[in-house]
Chains A and B, each alone.
Chain A
Amino acid sequence: MTTLTDNVPGAPRPRGGVAQSINDSLVVTKRNLIRMSRIPEMVVFGLIQPVMFVVLFSFVFGGSMSVGGNTDPAVYREFLMAGIFAQTVTFATAGAGAGIADDMHKGLVDRFRSLPMARGAVLTGRTLADLVQTALTLVVLAIVGLLVGWRIHNGVPKALGAFALLLLLGYAFSWIGALIGLSVRTPEAATSGGLIWLFPVTFVSNAFVDPSMMADWIRPIAEWNPFSATVQACRELFGNPGVVQSDAWPMRYPVWASILYSILIVFVFRTLSVRKYRSATV
């Protein structure tokens, strides 16, 4: 007689465990990807900045920069790309933060939290969707890089390894964004709060200049910066110039350092975020 209550099977018993976590996360990922596809301008804006950086750094600063004593702008352009790739993937922080803050603001987090779903799925779903967006951005950026003279010199498998490290770094940073998104009151605050601190992190690094040219006290910071490890690893794997010669452990074993740093960031920020999510109130 009534479509509201008759013959409606109740909610199935949750499977619990990893299977449910994966399923719920994918449902939320799909939802976020649909959202992104309906706000394509967000993706486009996300692309403009790194492309602009490539052009600015290559053709404006390029001539005055020296990589290991070499001031050839073409060398600087090859040097630059690993830095731009790495900086770009960290922008996922702002996207994840703004998205989650928006969900809080609109009451969607309340809806999700009243459902029998896996605890971390709303956040995991968001960070996975950001990962897809990051991958897309990297593809476009790689094409722009190839156009300005960037090349891979050590073969495709190593280059793919470098991109995998970049994606892992982006994924790790999107968890930092998740925590920011849960901690601020508005999506706007999450966007700026997600970006502001990225500038020191990405500039006090080997991304755009060789740390050997930095002041003595700042140099170790740049060399131990988790972000630098990924940049260094990418240069090694791509076979690009400007690999930092230093005794600092992350500079000597950048691939391992990059993996460890990223996993550590995911672990710490995922734990904090999921805990915060459980008690989240607007």
Chain B
Amino acid sequence: MPGAIYAEGLVKTFGDVRALDGVDLDVPEGTVLGLLGPNGAGKTTTVRVLTTLIQPDSGRAVVAGIDVLKHPNEVRRSIGLSGQFAAVDEYLTGRENLQMVGQLYQMKAKAAKERAGELLDRFRLSDAADRTAKTYSGGMRRRLDLAAALVVAPPVMFMDEPTTGLDPRNRQALWDVINELVAGGTTLLLTTQYLEEADHLAHDICVVDHGKVIARGTADQLKAQTGGERVEVVVQQPEMIAGARDVLARYGVAGTGHGDVSVENHIRKLTVPVTGGAKLLAEVIRDLDAVGVGIDDIGLRRPTLDDVFIYLTGHAAEREEEEENGTAGAAGKSRKDRKEKAS
């Protein structure tokens, strides 16, 4: 039986751009799918097709058991959408926004009003409920937008980059909301550029790039594809690198030779893929000590989804955006730099 969200061979072109190039998805009921990909990968387009906003050139989609192309209005009853940018009426108060959405979901005015009150409480907007959304901060608008998507507690939810531009507190609050939704049985498709977010929130992950799903599985499965754990050592002196390399080669999964030890000379760092876990780490430390290699830092590192992403696509997840921002810094930095897109 197909899941709560099912898509088969979705293709969508905009002029020359092939935004979707045959996307297949299958999200079992009550689970979270993380759609992970860089800017321009086709995440938003996928969400827009599944939420009836655009029609694909070809392919098929079923949401909550209803064919998206044949019965879009039936689908709309069963979904909630929180788009990439908060879609709230800034001249309406928070309460008026939610009431309006409730009524357009065909609730009676009174029921819509009650539900609006509940959601305003839940999203810490009660104090601002009767102010126009124009006066809200970016984070508050995001919360209001999310509340609007949850007015009828739809069985299937779509969130397009829900945490982009959120401060840590709002991000944590959103994660709590997502956990609560899932506990309540909601099926969720969420897109993100943040690998650790997909890792945290999603049961399954689809990595998309250039309109195609290039990998899918649980976070652990994807990590396993990239290779297992590795030991990373930073030695005290450049002269110690050679000695450390001999030691580490013995522990490498390849067993012999120096082939799988990679060295970054400028930061005196050596990395080797291993199997054996923490116990092995102790042995490595003892052996390095025995040959007189001083250690600045050592650790057992599991592959992150960042590694998976680079492995699969040949480029970092946020590369394009860093170019846009003109920052060549680490992913974490560009994330902090990103302004809240509230307009």
Q: How far apart are B192's CB and chain A's nearest CB, in angstroms?
A: 19
Closest to A103 in B: B89
The interface bits of chain A over 105-131 (1 if a CB of B lies within 8 angstroms of the residue's CB, else 0) are: 011101111111100010000000000
A9 sits at the interface (CB 8 A): yes
Interface centre among A11, A24, A38 (most CB of B within 10 A): A11
Picked from A10, A12, A106, the residue with its CB within 8 Å of the CB of B154 is A10
CB distance from A279 to the nearest CB of B (A): 7
Q: A10-B77, A11-B77, A38-B132 are in contact. Are A116 and B91 (CB under 8 A)?
A: no
Tell me, yes or no, whether A48 is within 8 Å of chain B by CB: no
Which chain B residues numbered 164 to 205 have a C-beta less than 8 Å away from chain A?
A: 177, 180-181, 183-186
Q: How far apart are the CA atoms of A10 and B87 in the complex, in Å? A: 22
Interface: B245 (CB within 8 A): no
Task: Assess the A111–B101 pair: CB atoms within 8 A.
Answer: yes
Tell me which residues across on chain B come within 8 A of A116, comparing CB atoms: 73-74, 76-77, 104-106
Interface string of A81-117 (1 = CB under 8 A from B): 0000000000000000000000000111011111111
Q: Which of A27-35, A138-146, A147-155, A187-195 contacts B (4 or more CB under 8 A)?
A: A27-35
Q: Decide if B305 is an interface residue (CB 8 Å cutoff).
A: no
- Chain A residues bordering chain B, tally (CB within 8 A): 38
Q: Give the chain B neighbours of A110 by CB distance below 8 A.
A: 48, 53, 81, 83, 87
**Min CB gap A44→B, angstroms:** 16
Q: Give B244 Cβ to nearest chain A Cβ, in Å.
A: 52
Kindly state whether residue A4 has any CB partner on chain B within 8 Å. yes
Tell me if A5 and B186 are in contact (CB < 8 A).
yes
Give chain B nearest CB distance to A93 CB in angstroms. 21
On chain B, the residues within 8 Å of A35 by CB distance are: 89, 91-92
CA distance A30 to B89 in the complex (A): 13
The answer to whether A11 and B78 have CB atoms under 8 Å apart is: yes
Contact code string B53-71 (vs A, CB < 8 Å = 1, else 0) = 1110000000000000000
User: Given A2-B180, A3-B118, A4-B184, A9–B106 Cβ distance below 8 Å?
Assistant: no
Residues of chain B at interface, number, CB under 8 A = 52
Contact of A114 among B51, B100, B103, B180 (CB under 8 A): B51
Please give, as numbers and ranges, the residues of chain A lying within 8 Å of B184 by CB-CB distance. Answer: 2, 4-6
* A115 and B105 contact, CB distance less than 8 A: yes
Whole-angstrom distance between the Cβ of A54 and the nearest chain B Cβ: 30
- Specify which chain A residues have a CB less than 8 angstroms from the CB of B213 in the assembled complex: none
In the complex, A281 has a CB within 8 A of chain B: yes
Query: Is there contact, CB below 8 Å, between B52 and A107?
Result: no
The contact string, 1 if C-beta is below 8 Å from chain A, for chain B 18-59, is 000000000000000000000000000000100111110000
Give which listed residue, B77, B103, B155, B186, contacts A13 with CB less than 8 A. Answer: B77
Selected from B78, B83, B153, the residue in CB contact (under 8 A) with A107 is B83
Q: Which of A11-41 contact B (CB under 8 A)?
A: 11-15, 20, 23-24, 27-28, 30-31, 34-35, 38-39
Best-surrounded residue of B106, B107, B121, B180 (most CB of chain A within 10 A): B106
A3 to B118, CA, bound (A): 7
One of A3, A27, A106 near B121 (C-beta < 8 A): A3
Is the beta-carbon distance between B100 and A11 smaller than 8 angstroms? no
B83 touches A34 (CB 8 A): no
**A8 within 8 Å of B by Cβ?**
yes
Q: A115, B83: Cβ atoms under 8 Å?
A: no
> Which residues of chain B from 68 to 125 have a CB within 8 Å of any chain A CB?
73-74, 76-79, 81, 83, 85-92, 96, 100-101, 103-108, 111, 115, 118-119, 121-122
B54-A281 in contact (CB<8A): yes
User: Using Cβ atoms and an 8 Å threshold, which residues of chain B touch A39?
Assistant: 91
Query: Which residues of chain A have C-beta atoms less than 8 A from B186's C-beta?
Result: 5
Task: Give the Cβ gap from B79 to chain A, nearest Cβ, in Å.
Answer: 7
Alpha-carbon distance between A164 and B85 when the two chains are bound, in angstroms: 41
Contacting pair A108 B89 (CB below 8 A)? yes
Assess the B181–A4 pair: CB atoms within 8 A: yes
Is B148 in the interface zone, CB < 8 Å from A? yes
Which of A5, A13, A31, A111 has the most B CB atoms < 10 Å from its CB? A111
Find chain A residues with CB under 8 A from B206 CB.
none
CA distance A231 to B77 in the complex (A): 47
Which residue of the partner chain, among B83, B96, B121, B150, contacts A31 with CB atoms under 8 Å? B96
Are A108 and B87 within 8 A (Cβ)? yes
Given contacts A15-B106, A110-B48, 9 further A-B contacts (CB under 8 A): A3-B122, A5-B181, A5-B186, A10-B77, A11-B78, A106-B343, A111-B148, A112-B104, A116-B74
Could you list 6 A-B pairs, sorted by A, with CB under 8 Å?
Answer: A34-B96, A106-B87, A113-B53, A115-B76, A116-B106, A279-B54
